[in-house]
Amino acid sequence: MLEIRSLSKAFGSTTALDSLDLSVADGEVLALLGPSGCGKSTLLRVVAGLESPDRGTVHWDQTDITGLPTHERRFGLMFQSYALFPHRNVGENVGFGLRMAGMGPDEIRDRVSEALDWVDLPGFERRTIEGLSGGEQQRVALARTLAPSPRLVMLDEPVGALDRRLRERLVVDTGAILRSRGATAIYVTHDHEEAAAVSDRVAIMRAGSIVQRGQLHQIRSNPIDEWVADFVG
């Protein structure tokens, strides 16, 4: 469903994306795995339409959407910081994108309730954001991302700010939620165990390019070079 062709992006003298090619199949959860500074977040921002590439194209279902405005792409992007609105309650946060899409109050209420059920937070609509734990905030952010039924879900280090034990549990839960929704998703991480737990397939990124693709156990058995072998352990 998603195809990225020869994508390049530079910020001054720094090359963030270097003739990058990548595809994500319908219903696939792809983990984009690489060290900090390799261009993972920039790639998500270009796919989302928040950045324009210098060269290359982004296609959805064989249609070139490179110049399509962000709000017309119907993609969902969840940031590491969650970007929740502290002055709005949980229900208002989850329903924000639905209001922007022009849904009526009754439909928004039903969809918000459904989305909170997906992330195992039923009845949390009136809770304040400040009163939530880190894990609960992560689930609210995921519910807000999923509520508008985006064609593509993009998660940028979604558990990176949490402690190790909570990260391990939420990674498994996030993968299960995405699969139960049949979501097509890109999950960005620098942690290879996290990538293996959440994804159907992994793409290893280095210096703005994809250097190897496949399931993590396959990559570990047959790394393309010494750098990949060291990176994936």
Q: What is the pLDDT of residues 11-67, one digit of tens each?
A: 999 999 999 999 999 999 999 999 989 999 999 999 999 999 999 999 999 999 999
* Residue 27 resides in a domain: yes
Enter the tokens of residue 145.
């991302």
User: Within this chain, do residues 59 and 95 fall inside the same structural domain, yes or no?
Assistant: no
CA-based torsion, 218, 153, 129, 33: positive or negative:
positive
* Residue 216 resides in a domain: yes
User: Within this chain, do residues 164 and 226 fall inside the same structural domain, yes or no?
Assistant: yes
What is the rounded CA–CA span in Å between residue 158 and residue 38?
17
User: Within this chain, do residues 70 and 185 fall inside the same structural domain, yes or no?
Assistant: yes
User: Within this chain, do residues 156 and 95 fall inside the same structural domain, yes or no?
Assistant: no
pLDDT at 157 (0 to 100): 87
Give the chain's domain count: 2
**Burial of residue 42, with CB atoms counted within 10 A of its CB: 0-12 exposed, 13-18 middle, 19 or more buried:** buried
pLDDT tier at 161, thresholds 50, 70, 90 = low
User: Within this chain, do residues 142 and 161 fall inside the same structural domain, yes or no?
Assistant: no
pLDDT exceeds cutoff 90 at 177? no
Residue whose tokens read 């990674």: 171
- Which helix or strand (DSSP H or E) is residue 112 part of? helix 105-118
Beta carbons within 10 angstroms of residue 147's beta carbon: 24
**Domain end among 126, 150, 174:** 150
pLDDT exceeds cutoff 90 at 90? yes
Mean pLDDT is lowest, of 12-21, 26-35, 77-86, 163-172, for 163-172
User: Within this chain, do residues 101 and 200 fall inside the same structural domain, yes or no?
Assistant: no
User: Within this chain, do residues 145 and 165 fall inside the same structural domain, yes or no?
Assistant: no
Mode of pairing for the β-strands spanning 185-189 and 29-33: parallel
| Contact in structure between 198 and 165 (CB atoms under 8 Å) | no
Residue whose tokens read 């962000």: 70
**Domain end among 150, 174, 191:** 150
Give the type of residue at 125.
Answer: E
**Domain end among 150, 167, 190:** 150
pTM, two decimals, is: 0.91
**Average pLDDT for residues 202-220, to the nearest whole number?**
94
**Average pLDDT for residues 87-102, to the nearest whole number?**
92
User: Within this chain, do residues 37 and 134 fall inside the same structural domain, yes or no?
Assistant: no
Quick one: DSSP state of residue 225? S
**Which residue range(s) make up the domain with 187?**
2-74+151-231
Beta carbons within 10 angstroms of residue 21's beta carbon: 14
User: Within this chain, do residues 8 and 64 fall inside the same structural domain, yes or no?
Assistant: yes
Find the Cα–Cα–Cα–Cα dihedral 192, 159, 9, 211, rounded to 10°: 10
User: Within this chain, do residues 127 and 191 fall inside the same structural domain, yes or no?
Assistant: no
What is the rounded CA–CA span in Å between residue 34 and residue 214?
14
pLDDT exceeds cutoff 80 at 164? no
What is the rounded CA–CA span in Å between residue 67 and residue 60?
12
Residue whose tokens read 């790394």: 223
Q: Is 162 helix (H, G, I), strand (E, B) or coil?
A: coil
User: Within this chain, do residues 155 and 136 fall inside the same structural domain, yes or no?
Assistant: no
* Residue 70 resides in a domain: yes
